[in-house]
Amino acid sequence: MIDWYYMYSQRYGIFHFYLQDKIPRDVFTPRAIFIDQSVFDEHLYKHEGEHFLSRVNIRIVNIINIIKERLETNNTTPFLFTDVDILIGPLVSQALQVYAQNEMIDMWVQKEFSEPENKTMNPGCILVRPTMKTLIFWVRVLDYMNTCHTTDMDAPNKILEEGVDFSWQFFHLNHVNTSITIKNWDYAIYHVLCSCINRQQDMVNKYLEAAHMHQPLDHYEPKVLEAFGQIYW
């Protein structure tokens, strides 16, 4: 079994209930991490001239904590950590198991662009083998984020450019992709992107993109209303 971690808040409750429904339980163990929206809102959309996600380091902190916990218990099995705003495709079980079983690679990451020469990663989907080397990497990422007030995408790319002493590769674009990189409709994970204009417009983008990919989310709204009392935009 592969532990599948993701974070969600009240605002992303609809994606949380979608993932709880769609993650195959015969291969993965969903590990949902609830973070109150107020924690994100401390920095989200707050810093003029910066990316709307700048300084939001919660993902990195959780990855570090998971690796530490596993190393303390000698659990070196790889784990998946994704954004909550993703869609599950028909290849998810078969494809991701193959990556997890490859002991030669310590970290698999989502590719941001389709051009072969572009080496930009997106932390929206990563598969991490817990080792001291991967722990040191993510600690370096967190230090860079906190020092330079950047995003949790810019920081890991910066550290990877500086060089790391572990093996890493991109997921194949047939398996993990976005509207920028998708090649066909048979995928494992589709990361739903947004326009980064404002909070409300970004959520509209994500709901419409899910519907465009023939995975509408509206039938999860009753569960969100029951859990949080309202639909957050």
Q: Give the DSSP per-residue string, 107-171.
A: EEEEES-S-TT---EEEEEEEE---HHHHHHHHHHHHHHHHHT--TTHHHHHHHHH--SS-EEEP
How confident is the model at residue 44, as a pLDDT?
A: 55
- Look at residue 46 in the predicted model and tell me its pLDDT: 54
pLDDT given for residue 205 in this prediction: 87
Which pLDDT does position 196 carry in this prediction? Answer: 64
How far is residue 30's CA from residue 18's CA, in Å, rounded to a whole number? 12
Question: Strand, helix or coil at 25?
Answer: coil
pLDDT at 179: 86
Q: What is the pTM of this model?
A: 0.92
pLDDT of 48 reads 62
Per-residue DSSP letter, 1: -
For residue 52, the model assigns a pLDDT of 53
CA-derived radius of gyration, the chain? 17
In this predicted structure, what is the pLDDT of residue 54? 53
Q: Name the CATH topology of 2-228.
A: Spore Coat Polysaccharide Biosynthesis Protein SpsA; Chain A (3.90.550)
Q: How far apart are CA 214 and CA 29, in angstroms?
A: 25
Q: What is the pLDDT along the chain (233 residues), one digit of tens a residue?
A: 999 999 999 989 999 999 999 999 999 999 999 999 877 675 555 546 555 555 678 899 999 999 999 999 999 999 999 999 999 999 999 999 999 999 999 999 999 998 988 999 999 999 999 999 999 999 999 999 888 888 788 999 999 999 999 999 999 999 999 988 998 889 999 999 866 667 788 888 889 999 999 999 999 999 999 999 988 77
